[in-house]
Amino acid sequence: MMHEKIKDLKLRASTLTKSPSYVDKDGNLVIVDLKQQVDVESRTIKGYLAVFGIPDSYGTVAVKGCFAKSIQERGPKSTSKQKIAHLWMHDPCDPIGQFTTLEEDDYGLYFESVLDEVPSGERALRQVNSGTINQFSYGFDYVWDKMEYDEQRDVILMFEVILYEGSPVTFGSNAETYAIRSKEDFEKQKDLLDFDTDDFIKSIPRNKQLELRQLIARHTSLAVIKPDELRQTPLKTHKPDEQVAEIGGYKLDTNQFLK
């Protein structure tokens, strides 16, 4: 007989579920080490789509073995024509590569994937490599008769799920969960942001490009020149011909957006 907790989850669950964020017993966001590795030359990403034994925000726990049937039927080594997909942000219209390895170990669901030379594949390769994106998620359906409620831990154990896809994802986060911890990290993030911004500007009609660059410059100016009562620290004096924003003590040259 289905436990009331599982019945409640069944009422709340969507047709295709995306693995939710992990939370601790006090409701705080937990960033799980998914141990991603990137080889840019071979366009390979390695990491974990899921971690076993950790309750998520739905109160469910993936148990080792829950992905085994899906991997056998539709994994990289299967003959299925509908293999488990590697997507960008769970978008079924935006596959970014192919899983070459999907297997369970004692830690979780390990994967290796080779990314295609498509826009989202390029973005995934750059941003996972830089650390801008460092989380992965999986899309699946529950198998309701393969779930049990653990009263002692107050969690629902998932002994089998139907795995459809895995994706790199962005965590909604606060300053405590993501932070630039060094000048090197800042410069890396700045370079990536500059690259993505310039890529986007070049993708729009030329008559709009100058207008967008001017808007960016105005936003940056407002970020630099604040009323005295809103400033946390006094602005340093710069030469009149410099356009420099100070963020976290580091200088960001905004002249490039006016080129």
Q: Which residue has the tokens 């998914």?
A: 34
> What are the φ and ψ backbone dihedral angles of 132, each rounded to 5 degrees?
-60, -40
Which residues lie below 8 Å from residue 221, measured CB to CB, with a gap of 6+? 243
How many whole angstroms separate alpha carbon 235 and alpha carbon 176? 25
62, 66, 72, 78: CA torsion to nearest 10: -30
Which of the four pLDDT bands, split at 50, 70 and 90, describes residue 108? confident
Please tell me the pTM assigned to this model: 0.60
Q: Where are the domains of the chain?
A: 4-169, 183-258
Output b/e per residue, 55-90; b: 16+ Cβ within 10 A.
bbebbbbbbeebbebbbeebbbeeeeeebbbbbbeb
Whether residue 135 contacts residue 18, with contact meaning beta carbons closer than 8 Å, is answered with no
Q: DSSP characters for 134-192?
A: -EEEEEEEE-GGGEEEETTTTEEEES-EEEEEEEEEPPP--TTTS---SHHHHHHHHHH
Q: What is the mean pLDDT of the chain?
A: 75
Q: What is the pLDDT of residues 7-62, one digit of tens each?
A: 887 776 665 666 655 544 455 555 555 566 788 888 998 888 888 888 877 788 99
Q: What is the pLDDT of residues 87-102, one digit of tens each?
A: 998 899 999 999 999 9
Q: Which structure tokens are listed for 135? A: 């989380």
So what's the pLDDT on residue 236?
44
